[in-house]
Amino acid sequence: MDSDSNISSVQPKIKNFYNDQNFDYAGGCGGELDIFCFPFSRGRIFNTIEKDNNQYDKSDYIFWASGTGFMTRKSIFNKVNGFDKTLFAHMEEIDYHWKCHLLGYNVSNVPSSIIYHKGGQTLDYQSPFKTYLNHRNSFLLLLTNYSIPVMLLLFIPRLILEFISIFYELLLGRINHSFAIIKSLMWLVVHPNIIYKRMKNNYKLRKINDFKMMKFFYKGSIVLSYFILKKKTFKSL
């Protein structure tokens, strides 16, 4: 960070505390995002966690640094008023680093630095509440962090993916998770004031347009790539 004033945050390589041969679920070797705001990382896509074979050991720009452990510039953190409390427990770091990108800053990983993480301490990975937060918060990012024209372009495809997720959970017999996704959509419907406030605040921060920022996004749908095209690792994308 000292050598590049345009970097807002850096993330170490994050490995699993209980199985130190594998990347950790929460961040791997750097966070990524597809255009529909579904997050994944170098070393973990959905429930596929890769073994660390040094395949991501080259320092590179990433979209977001994991809240498990990252360093950021205090001046930028204060400028965007820190984390948004609306995004409790999930994706507040993605939202923060999106704001960093809006200000024109980059985010990078530092694979030579390694930390070990005991995952699932806040919420169990199979918790319906975690499913609720994941869907609510990622959809909230799409609604409020993009410019309005881009948001409107992506809204319907994202909504279709939500309904697909609902039926997929039903097919798996995970009824509580299906209702969690429905509940997340209902939250968005009944909180237009929060959506408007976030849109307004992010508009004030914006120094670059979406298309310039989206060079750091995965241009397709990680959902379709993973479940339909069977691309299970970051290098296969």
Sign of CA dihedral 125, 85, 155, 149: negative
Mean pLDDT for the stretch of residues 190-207: 97
What pTM value is reported for the model?
0.95
pLDDT of residue 121: 63
Q: Which of the four pLDDT bands, split at 50, 70 and 90, describes residue 88?
A: confident
Four-residue CA torsion sign, 141, 127, 118, 111: negative
| Per-residue pLDDT tens digits for 151-188 | 999 999 999 999 999 999 999 999 999 999 999 999 99
Four-point Cα dihedral 85, 87, 88, 91, nearest 10: -130
Under DSSP, the state recorded for 235 is G
Sign of the CA dihedral running 34, 39, 41, 43 = negative
- Average pLDDT (84-93) is 92
Encoded tokens for 114? 């390694």
Instruction: Kindly report the average pLDDT of the chain as a whole number.
Output: 95
Whole-number pLDDT of residue 1: 77
